[in-house]
């Protein structure tokens, strides 16, 4: 069974092991869900990339060096789906806020509608009598991870066969996935529901599941035969990406969060003090909480050797006072923290800044260059990928 990397050392070992398969083999085999015992046909790096124990840049460089663009185009394009989704949501934070409001309202509705609550409980307990779906619930609970194809099938069954609100499915995933990402998760669920590519839904068919799961499932329950698009929600126009913060002179403290744990590749100024917060936001399942804690501890340990400072652990409940005290204790002029994309950590940073704390964010060049192109669908983003990868004038093969 795949152990998902929660440290940089494990992530690099995983990348190393996967590298020979990242070329044409990946393109041919990636859609097969071979089960929790065999993840050799995909990288299984998402929990590590999500928290930037390793970066997109680093992975792309290694894969390009091993295979070149022509053989690795599929893998590199998939890698850039994460970048695209992050950029798309970054330009439309209202979609995330709307999702959060919807989850809250639907959680109350569950209490008022016994029929809806029963169906929700059966689905989330893996008691639907759809053998594959029930197995994926178990896999998610046990491993905190599902293959991409299984995530698509799961969401399609949730929305169109079980007729449950997509937001509750996304929330169920978000609490459990080790790689839970506001952008990739919310926007993928919206994509299946026909809200991302408006009107274009994803309908799963039983023979497709059978074909790509090596006969593990019978799928003899009736799956929905059609997937009518949900009523479109009000469109949100993309905003311009704000300019990245400039870092002032003076004594600067580094505050690490679980959003970006590779300080070694950030353009850091000289650092006078180091801090970290254990966890921000949400109510993660225990396995996810443990994963995030291990990843953070790993990032903090590397930041300690990079900067030569021992990290101060700031308590979450009264973060504002704790940061203010830390700034005063170390006579800091400003605090830098890696840019947090749309989500609970970004919200927390924004509210701390709003109190006047001198916090500046460090945005990676990869994000600053890519995100402004996420204004429309992926097909409009895709032509920018070779340039993002530094391939100069080389053009995609298709
Ligand atoms: C309903 C649904 C929910 C999802 N929720 C999340 C989520 O919360 N967090 C998350 O990281 N991914 C999410 N995904 C995207 C995708 O399923 C995972 O990123 C992928 O399965 C990770 O496996 P891997 O690392 O083996 O990917 P590989 O196939 O090895 O791809 C390499 C990397 O490319 C990126 N990538 C590949 N496919 C996608 C994709 N479709 N969308 C975005 N990035 C991609 C990931 O960083 C991945 O690690 C979701 C997909 C669906 C359909």
Summarize the confidence of residues 359-385 as an average pLDDT.
Answer: 97
* Residue 188 near ligand 1, beta carbon < 6 Å: yes
pLDDT value for 142: 96
pLDDT value for 244: 95
- 165 CA to centre of ligand 1 in angstroms: 21
User: CB of 72 within 8 A of CB of 22?
Assistant: yes
Q: Using one digit for the tens of pLDDT, what is the confidence trace for 189-212?
A: 999 999 998 889 999 999 999 999
Distance CA 240, CA 90 (A): 9
Q: Using one digit for the tens of pLDDT, what is the confidence trace for 238-271?
A: 999 999 999 999 999 999 999 999 999 999 999 9
Q: Using one digit for the tens of pLDDT, what is the confidence trace for 29-76?
A: 999 999 999 999 999 999 999 999 999 999 999 999 999 999 999 999
* Residue 50 near ligand 1, beta carbon < 6 Å: yes
Q: What is the 3-state secondary structure (H, E, C) of the chain?
A: CCCCCCCHHHHHHHHHHHHHHCCHHHHHHCCCCCCCCCCCCCCCCHHHHHCCCCCHHHHHHHHHHHHHHHHHHHHHHHHHHHHHHHHHHHCCHHHHHHHHHHHHHHHHHHHHCHHHHHHHHHHHCCCCCCHHHHHHHHHHHHHCCCCHHHHHHHHHHHHHHCCCCHHHHHHHHHHHCCCCCHHHHHHHHHHHHCCCCCCCCCCCCHHHHHHHCCCCCCCCCCCCCCCCCCCCCCCCCCCCCCCCCCCCCCCEEEEECCCCCCHHHCCCCCCCEEEEECCCCCCCCHHHHHHHHHHHHHHHHHHHHHHCCCCEEECCCCHHHHHHHHHHHCCCCEEEEECCCCCHHHHHHHHHHHCCCCEEEECCHHHHHHHHHCCCCHHHHHHHHHHHCCCCCCCCCC
**Which residue puts its alpha carbon closest to atom 18 of ligand 1?**
148
Q: Using one digit for the tens of pLDDT, what is the confidence trace for 327-338?
A: 999 999 999 999
* Residue 18 near ligand 1, beta carbon < 6 Å: no
User: CB of 71 within 8 A of CB of 28?
Assistant: no
User: CB of 190 within 8 A of CB of 196?
Assistant: yes
Distance CA 197, CA 11 (A): 33
Summarize the confidence of residues 345-350 as an average pLDDT.
Answer: 96
pLDDT value for 278: 81
pLDDT value for 316: 86
Summarize the confidence of residues 112-131 as an average pLDDT.
Answer: 97
* Residue 22 near ligand 1, beta carbon < 6 Å: no
* Residue 158 near ligand 1, beta carbon < 6 Å: no
Q: What is the model's pTM?
A: 0.97
396, pLDDT greater than 70: no
Share of the chain above pLDDT 70, in %: 98
Closest approach atom of ligand 1 to CA 146: 21
pLDDT value for 398: 42
- Cα end-to-end distance, the chain, whole Å: 36
Closest approach atom of ligand 1 to CA 30: 29
pLDDT value for 283: 87
Closest approach atom of ligand 1 to CA 84: 43
Kindly report the average pLDDT of the chain as a whole number.
Answer: 95
pLDDT value for 282: 80
Q: Using one digit for the tens of pLDDT, what is the confidence trace for 207-234?
A: 999 999 998 999 988 999 999 999 989 9
Closest approach atom of ligand 1 to CA 50: 11
């Amino acid at each position: 069974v795949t152990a998902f990397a929660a440290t940089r050392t494990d992530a690099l070992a995983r990348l190393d092991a996967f590298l020979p398969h990242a070329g044409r083999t990946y393109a041919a085999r990636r859609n097969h869900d071979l089960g929790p015992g065999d993840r050799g046909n995909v990288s299984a790096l998402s929990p590590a990339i999500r928290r930037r124990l390793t970066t997109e840049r680093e992975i792309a460089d290694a894969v390009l060096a091993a295979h070149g663009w022509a053989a690795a185009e599929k893998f590199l394009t998939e890698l850039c789906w994460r970048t695209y989704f992050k950029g798309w949501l970054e330009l439309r934070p209202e979609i995330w806020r709307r999702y959060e409001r919807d989850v809250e309202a639907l959680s109350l509705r569950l209490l008022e509608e016994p029929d809806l609550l029963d169906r929700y409980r059966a689905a989330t307990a893996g008691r639907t009598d759809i053998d594959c779906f029930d197995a994926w619930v178990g896999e998610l609970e046990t491993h905190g991870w599902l293959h991409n194809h299984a995530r698509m099938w799961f969401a399609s069954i949730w929305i169109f066969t079980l007729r449950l609100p997509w937001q509750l499915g996304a929330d169920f995933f978000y609490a459990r996935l080790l790689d839970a990402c506001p952008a990739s998760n919310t926007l993928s669920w919206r994509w299946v529901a026909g809200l991302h590519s408006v009107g274009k839904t994803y309908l799963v068919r039983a023979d497709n599941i059978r074909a790509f799961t090596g006969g593990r499932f019978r799928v003899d329950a009736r799956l929905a035969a059609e997937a009518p698009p949900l009523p479109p929600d009000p469109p949100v126009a993309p905003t311009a990406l704000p300019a990245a913060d400039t870092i002032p002179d003076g004594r600067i403290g580094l505050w690490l969060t679980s959003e970006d744990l590779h300080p070694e590749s950030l353009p850091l100024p000289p650092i006078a003090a180091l801090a970290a917060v254990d966890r921000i936001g949400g109510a993660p399942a225990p396995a996810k909480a443990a994963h995030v804690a291990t990843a953070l501890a790993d990032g903090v340990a590397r930041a300690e050797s990079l900067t030569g400072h021992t990290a101060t652990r700031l308590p979450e409940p009264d973060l504002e006072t704790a940061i203010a005290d830390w700034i005063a204790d170390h006579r800091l002029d400003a605090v830098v923290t890696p840019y947090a994309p749309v989500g609970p950590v970004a919200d927390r940073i924004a509210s701390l800044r709003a109190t006047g704390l001198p916090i500046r964010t460090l945005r990676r060049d990869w994000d600053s260059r890519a995100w402004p192109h996420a204004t429309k669908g992926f097909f409009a983003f895709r032509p920018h990928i070779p340039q993002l990868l530094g391939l100069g004038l080389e053009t995609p093969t298709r």
